[in-house]
Amino acid sequence: MSYKNCPNCNAKIGKSLMGKPNELVSEEFYQKLKDFLPDDFIEEAYCVKCVTDFNINLERSNLYSKYNSFLLNRLYVNKRIDKKKVLIKELDVAVEKREQAIKELIELKFFKDVKIYSNTPNNIELVGYVESFLVVNCGMWSTASDNFNPLLSVIHDQMASSGSNSDKLLSEGFSKAKDFIKYDACLKGANTIVDFKHSFSELAGNGKILIYSQGTAGIDKDRANIDFTEIEENHNSKLESIKNEIKEIEDYFASRTLADLKTLIESEFSVA
């Protein structure tokens, strides 16, 4: 196919009255560009003038600068980068769904099934340290842990409607501190907390009381325990496939950098 003008930069092809004649790059070199450049970027042909110009600011004409803008997803549509953005959002959603499923499993099925011991029975397989913090303050509560956001909003509502009876608040505080630490034990795959202790202290002069609970999560094999297998099976393959798709796109561009393009061009043309 013959062109009067370069399909990429529109420069005139052939002899010119002034300056050197311009020509299209060879079919052989075009094939190399075709192997390198993404299908949503490549033009039907390129001329020597726009291929050998490395001025980075000519992002509407020379190949090098255009490709730079394309990689930055600027001026030109880059379907792979667009796809990656969609995938990253999908990954966030998938991670959130998995976390939600874990929370629901803990709250609905096993939350109440964790047993707490102040001593350490010897048939318990120890898993790890668990703790929770809670501040009681005239009907408003907060905690140092992030795990309980859904639970906390419920407690805030409960406390707001229960007035500010401090004895009641405190005893409910201990009860909630236990629930929080049970939740943490469930997250660790445990059904028991041993060596459990509460302590509390008044925070300096502002009427707030800190409740601190601690213990060691463990597994009592004689009782049912929380099982995340189904959640892992349902969610992990989805997460893995999204991650793989993202990696494929990253790998694709990892071998097609701007520097790689320059090397390719310089292998064909000696550019002054």
What are the residues binding Zn ion (CB under 5 A)? 6, 8-9, 11, 47, 50
Q: How far apart are CA 173 and CA 176, in angstroms?
A: 5
Give 5 or 236: the residue with its C-beta nearer to Zn ion: 5
Residue 110 DSSP class: I
Rounded least distance, CB 58 to Zn ion, Å:
11
Place of tokens 């601190």: 212
Give 6 or 169: the residue with its C-beta nearer to Zn ion: 6
Rounded least distance, CB 63 to Zn ion, Å:
8
Give 61 or 166: the residue with its C-beta nearer to Zn ion: 61
Give 8 or 137: the residue with its C-beta nearer to Zn ion: 8
Q: How far apart are CA 213 and CA 199, in angstroms?
A: 6
Rounded least distance, CB 46 to Zn ion, Å:
5
Determine contact, residues 231/105, Cβ cutoff 8 Å: yes
Q: Between helices 258-268 and 63-71, what is the axis angle to 10°? A: 160
Give 9 or 114: the residue with its C-beta nearer to Zn ion: 9
Rounded least distance, CB 12 to Zn ion, Å:
10
CA-angle at 12, arms to 6 and 15, nearest 5°: 125
Closest CA to 115 of 224, 227, 211: 224
The two structure tokens encoding residue 24: 């299209």
Rounded least distance, CB 64 to Zn ion, Å:
12
